[in-house]
Amino acid sequence: MAGAERKAGRLNMPSGFDDEIHNLLTEWGNWARTDSLLNKPKHALYRMMSRIIDDERPPSVDDMNDKTLVIERAVARLKTEKDKRLLTLIKRYYLSRWDYIQLSARFKLSEQRIKEMHARALRLVRVNIILVNENF
């Protein structure tokens, strides 16, 4: 049911919603919940990260761990944003698998406002991935 709600909710996302970063963070959330991806260096997470940072090297387990650290650091940089709720939103949505209804109740905001915050957080994560990768 939650998966169906997510797919249905994606139909009316605000402009600027970054599907590539959304997919990357979905894979990051999956990786964070299981060790099984450590044995799959050709996993979608690696391929998506490579597209963002233009890295064409063959994947390895160490690369996979490095890419995940880049994502984690990029997400952690959301702590420095003026709106501190962005980090909580990303963690709840991707790590805890909360849907927009749960986030709406948590933040006491409309679902549309949550979707707008989500889109903004994704844009910031994209920028942070590039910044973190340059300094990694």
The answer to whether residue 60 is domain-embedded is yes
Determine the 3-state secondary structure of 57 from DSSP: coil
What CATH number is attached to the domain comprising 56?
Answer: 1.20.140
Average pLDDT estimate for 55-76: 69
Instruction: Please give the residue range of the domain that contains residue 101.
Output: 16-135
The answer to whether residue 86 is domain-embedded is yes
- State how far the Cα of 74 lies from the Cα of 126, in Å rounded to an integer: 8
What is the pLDDT at residue 121? 94
pTM over 0.75, yes/no: no
The answer to whether residue 10 is domain-embedded is no
The answer to whether residue 107 is domain-embedded is yes
The answer to whether residue 113 is domain-embedded is yes
What is the pLDDT at residue 50? 56
Q: What percent of the chain has pLDDT over 90?
A: 34
Could you tell me if 25 and 125 are in contact, meaning their C-beta atoms sit under 8 angstroms apart? Answer: yes
Q: What is the pLDDT of residues 98-128, one digit of tens each?
A: 999 999 999 999 999 999 999 999 999 999 9
The pLDDT mean for the chain works out to 76
CB-side exposure of 115: number of CA atoms within 13 Å? Answer: 17
User: Would the pLDDT of 12 be above 80?
Assistant: no
The answer to whether residue 72 is domain-embedded is yes
The number of domains in the chain is 1
**Position 43 confidence tier, pLDDT thresholds 50, 70, 90:** low
The answer to whether residue 84 is domain-embedded is yes
**Position 32 confidence tier, pLDDT thresholds 50, 70, 90:** confident
Residues contacting 5, CB < 8 A, separation 6+: 99, 100, 101
What is the pLDDT at residue 65? 66
The answer to whether residue 11 is domain-embedded is no
